[in-house]
Chains A and B, each alone.
Chain A
Amino acid sequence: MTTTMPTAPAPAQPAHRGSAGGGLMRRLNFGTGVLAGVALAAVAWLLSHSLLDSAGTFFQDQVATITFIGWVVGFLLGIGAFNGPINWFRGRDLTHDDELYLAGKDLGPRRYWKFCTDHKVVGVQYFVMTMIVLFAGGVLAMLIRIQLARPGDHFVNPQIYNAFIGMHGILMIVGLIVAVSGPFGNFIMPIMIGARDMAFPRLNALSFWLLVAAAVPLLAVFAVGGISDGWSTYAPLSVQDHVGMDAFAVGVTTFIISTTIAGVNMVTTFITMRTKGMKLDRVPIFTWGVTTSAALGLYAMPFFAVALTLLLSDRALGTSFYLSFGGGTDWLWENLFWLMGHPEVYVILLPAVGAVLEIATVFARKPLFGYNVVVGGMIGIVGLSTIVWAHHMFTTGWAPALNGPFMLTTELISIPTGVVFLALLGTIWQGRLWTRLPLLYVFGFVWNFIIGGVTGIYLSDVPVDNQMHGTMFVVAHFHYVFVGSVLFGALGAVAFWFPKMTGKYLDERMGRVAFWLVFAGVQVTFISMFISGLMGMQRRVSSYAHAMATTNFISTIGAFVIMAGMIIEAYTIVTSWRSGREAGRNPWRSKTLEWQVPTPVPLENFEVPPVVTSDPYGYGEAAPPLEAPAGHPDATPVTVGAAAKEELQS
């Protein structure tokens, strides 16, 4: 279908000053960002060398911190992220032409390399970036499993192994936080609610490019000595760690700024950008998943930013937040970290759950089971997840009197989670199942999430946790949640929305091969890892007792099967994107709005805002007759022809 741009005259615009449509932005892109980032990092390095006392105890950490901050600021300057605030300061508000230029009008593929405000471009950018980050984390997982294939430090020394562990952790956490919300929250959610873009398009672009800026110090951690104490970087070890920790802290803090801005944007979009008739009980459930996650992230992530800033301060300014000989305490780190750390699990999980529920309705051809209950469950999860953090601290000696209450709140959170899970089963139950690739991932999610969820309830129990804490049992548990559930939800979302984002089907046959490999690999790897944990194997160790050799070897084999599946998945994504089968506008005959607009989706999504009169899950019900928009027989994407009517009635 062809896309038509609006031909009507734009409303009154601020007067032009300087070159129209973008001005300086015309010359800025990813390349200028990298140049400016490197340049400012170099300047920061030189200045800190000449101005700071090179004999001081904290000199190295000061230089590293300033240099990495220089990179981040320089990169953002160079890509044009600060042009908006500067122009606002100068009283130069954007003209409509400026906005269209920033949204990438007539820029073609170049717009993917620019500070582009179109939510669909940002969604695709996040999609590619997520794959890169997850791939890097996956390679590290393979290196870890090579080390653990047999006992004895036969592959790398423990110091390098520690860096593998910590960086695998943080890259996977970053990758999974953005895995669903980034690509699909940005690309799909605004169209789902009938909006033309996100509430704050420039903040949207800013959150993506902050992620790119953050990736550089994170990857540079290896170059400057690695980190030694896992991604949770417990103090006081992290205070004493190499310069790599400075890079880590700057990178993660930058990422947190990105998620905070994205959280503000998503919540505002959901609340204020819904089209006429899109009441809160009519929005597709996926948007609830993304929004509850964003709201929770907005609350939780700043704790980690504060924890890391205080860590940098201990390392570079000589404060004592975490050092007991100066009056600090590691419990401060643990509290701040887990105040972020537990909610963050649900920040990662909720969008994936939303995607799985959305897919289930379409492929079971049934309304969502218990819509209001699911929304209530999601909100309940958000509320409860803010008061469970200390279940990670049962064995630390912090507030033993609170162990009981935290056990209770943690067990309580399984109730809303269970309710949402039952609603998923209720949606599939007695449906007319159309077992295409996206639905396979829903089934995989159901299987894995049961295992990941139930083992989590074991661990919330204080006596059991005293036994299991810090073992591979815990690692297997959260990998069933993160890989088995979240990654499956994300891959299901890829299979489901790929036709809308690219116009092509994700190849079904190759996709199935990938699905089964990843699914089987997850079972082999992590069931075996449960056993290693039950035998008492500690996590994050580079070697282990001979008794655990068999289960570890099996886990390594399983991990390589997962990797094989993921490589096939990546190959399938690339080849399908290039030369896959054309999918058309609505290949799954879904009723949500994103499938009613043409593919590729036009710049501002809807020529005319749609008006919604029912929830999106009326499968099997006859649709009321549609009217063509007066005077716009073919201008609008949400029409309306015999074919569309038939689809809606199916």
Chain B
Amino acid sequence: MTIAHIESVGPAVHHDPPEVVAQRQLLGVWLLIAGDAVIVGSLLFTYLYLRGLNTQKQWMPAGVHGASLVLSWGLVAVTALSALAVWSGEQSIRRGKKDAVSMALVAAVLALAASAIGVAQLAQIPHALNSTSGVRQIAGSYASSLLALDMSNLAHLVLLAFLGLAVAVRVGRGATSAQAWTHARFVRIFWVWVASAIGASAVVTTLFVNSPH
């Protein structure tokens, strides 16, 4: 490889400029979201595939009803509100406004509230005594697929609560500020992705309930 010249520099600078680091971290965030999207996508595929097959008519065995729409759309609403709070918190941070800490706290609290709704969803997953295995288990593949989606949503929401609290703490201690706000942006991007994923799972589980077969 030909190296035409070596840049002449003053003192060796072993840190890239902040904007370069920010671009790099932004790409990392998007790639992590891509990997996460494969996970969420596989769970939605699982739901739709098992519904389409309806093996041994056990998608929704007798006595199983569709999940509560109030809970699933309540979850979407609270998560969307929390995303709004994070977004407005990010704006406040970038403008150096004082309400940044409280907005981040609001977002974290809303994520926790959404997590509580997620727990309520899990509590409603129907169980039944399986006639073939003779074991009390989760009733059919509809309930199983819901459980997987609900657990995934819950795990994401707990992570969001951690991130929201972290932003609040970091702003409070000056680590994230109007001069260094990129981390707040990353948190907001991830937050919006999680809200979209939760929205997608609500859409799928609302539109497609009973098996066509």
Contact = CB atoms under 8 A, between A and B. Distances in A.
B7 A612 contact: no
Interface in A59-113: 88-93, 96
A327 B144 contact: yes
Contact of A332 (B13, B14, B50, B136): B50
B14 A325 contact: no
A615 interface: yes
B70 interface: no
A631 B38 contact: no
A90 B132 CA distance: 53
A133 B172 CA distance: 46
A588 B104 CA distance: 56
A401 to B, nearest CB: 15
Given A268-B24, A332-B50, A327 B140 contact: yes
B-side interface size class: 35 or more
Contacts of A307: 42
B162 A320 contact: no
Given A8-B11, A319-B138, A626 B144 contact: no
A283 B193 CA distance: 33
Contacts of B132: 325-326
Interface in A245-304: 260, 263-265, 267-268, 271-273, 276-277, 282, 298-299, 302-303
B6 A317 contact: no
- The interface centre, meaning the residue of A96, A306, A639 with most chain B CB atoms within 10 A of its CB, is A306
A199 B32 CA distance: 14
Interface string A602-637: 001001111111111010000110111111100010
B35 interface: yes
A648 interface: yes
B12 A607 contact: yes
A310 B148 contact: yes
B6 A632 contact: yes
Given A6-B14, A318-B135, A327-B142, A91 B175 contact: yes
Interface residues of A, number: 88
A608 B6 contact: yes
Interface stretch (B52-60, B74-82, B86-94): B52-60
Given A327-B59, A328-B50, A611 B166 contact: no
B2 to A, nearest CB: 4
Contacts of B58: 320, 324-328
A592 interface: yes
Interface in A391-414: none
Contact of A610 (B3, B49, B54, B175): B3
Best-surrounded residue of B144, B145, B148 (most CB of chain A within 10 A): B144
Contacts of A318: 127, 135-138
A57 B6 CA distance: 68
Contact of B42 (A336, A607, A627): A336
B71 to A, nearest CB: 19
A93 B15 CA distance: 14
A611 B12 contact: no
Contacts of B55: 324, 327-329
Given A91-B170, A267-B31, A306 B50 contact: no
Q: Count chain A CB atoms within 10 A of each CB in B136, B147, B176 and give the residue with the most.
A: B147
Contact of A313 (B12, B14, B148): B148
Contacts of B135: 57, 318
B56 A325 contact: yes
B12 A591 contact: no
Contacts of B144: 313-314, 319-321, 326-328
Contacts of A155: none
B166 A299 contact: no
A173 interface: no
Contacts of A631: 8
A18 interface: no
A326 B140 contact: yes
Give the residue among A319, A320, A591 with the most B Cβ atoms within 10 A. A320
CB-based closest 7 A-B pairs: A327-B58, A318-B137, A8-B11, A327-B141, A629-B6, A91-B175, A91-B173
12 contacts: A8-B13, A89-B165, A91-B175, A196-B14, A268-B28, A303-B42, A318-B138, A327-B57, A327-B61, A327-B140, A593-B1, A623-B2
Given A88-B183, A272-B27, A321-B141, 16 more contacts: A6-B14, A9-B11, A11-B13, A93-B175, A196-B14, A267-B27, A273-B24, A319-B144, A320-B58, A321-B145, A324-B58, A326-B132, A329-B55, A332-B46, A628-B6, A631-B8
